[in-house]
Amino acid sequence: LRTQLAAIARSKQRIYIQNAYFTSDDMIYELAKARRRGVDVRIIIPYQSDSGVINRSNVTAMNAMLANGIRVFIYPKESHIKGAIYDGWICLGSANFDQLSLRINKEMNIATSHPQAVQAFLEQVMYPDFEKSVELTEPLPEKWSDFLMETIADQL
């Protein structure tokens, strides 16, 4: 988490992330700061994850990102891709952006700045998934329980 937060803070051109779990408030805050610096920030989140709590928590996360000028794309089905591009550096692995993956399970990612690997990930995963996704242009309807789910998800 610290490494990816540092990558966000250092990004100057683009941040593209695909992940099903966005429960890290620190991550959303840093992404909003990057967007205010003029970085092209785009997020792909699947319409459905494997957790109802996360599905509802993601509604508040997506609305917060949208309110901060971050482009949010909703992938039409379930996706377990956990990948990010920060300028010319990619990070891939098993870790979601949640406490369970990043602090408790200590899941791992790999990273590289090898230009061919970055380009291949863009062309084979990110660009096609942006095309398959629907860009969010208006906030999603929120229920009072979404804020409760977000509080619960913060602890997961």
Tokens read off for 123: 């062309």
Whether residue 80 is predicted with pLDDT greater than 90 in this model: the reply is no
Helices then strands, counting H and E runs in the chain, come out as: 7, 7
Tokens read off for 85: 């591009």
The type of residue at 77 is K
Task: Please state, in angstroms and rounded to a whole number, the distance separating the CA atoms of residues 92 and 15.
Answer: 14
| Residues in contact with 63: Cβ distance below 8 Å, sequence separation at least 6, in sequence order | 139, 140, 142
pTM of the model: 0.85
Tokens read off for 76: 């039409």
Query: What is the predicted pLDDT for the residue at 6?
Result: 94
> Strand 14-18 and strand 89-93: pairing?
unpaired
Whether residue 18 is predicted with pLDDT greater than 70 in this model: the reply is yes
Task: Please state, in angstroms and rounded to a whole number, the distance separating the CA atoms of residues 130 and 73.
Answer: 7
Mean pLDDT, all residues of the chain: 84
Higher per-residue pLDDT: 51 or 132: 132
Whether residue 129 is predicted with pLDDT greater than 80 in this model: the reply is yes
Task: Please state, in angstroms and rounded to a whole number, the distance separating the CA atoms of residues 121 and 137.
Answer: 26
* pLDDT category of residue 153 using cuts at 50, 70 and 90: low
Convert the pLDDT of each residue in 82-117 to its tens digit: 899 999 999 998 776 666 665 666 777 889 999 999
CB 22 within 8 A of CB 61: yes
Higher per-residue pLDDT: 26 or 104: 26
3-state secondary structure of 7: helix
Residue 56 vs residues 13, 30, 72, 111, 150: alpha-carbon distances, Å: 30, 22, 16, 30, 7
What is the number of other CB atoms lying within 10 angstroms of the CB of residue 8? Answer: 22
Convert the pLDDT of each residue in 41-67 to its tens digit: 999 998 766 555 566 667 888 899 999
β-sheet bridge partners, residue 84 = 17, 91
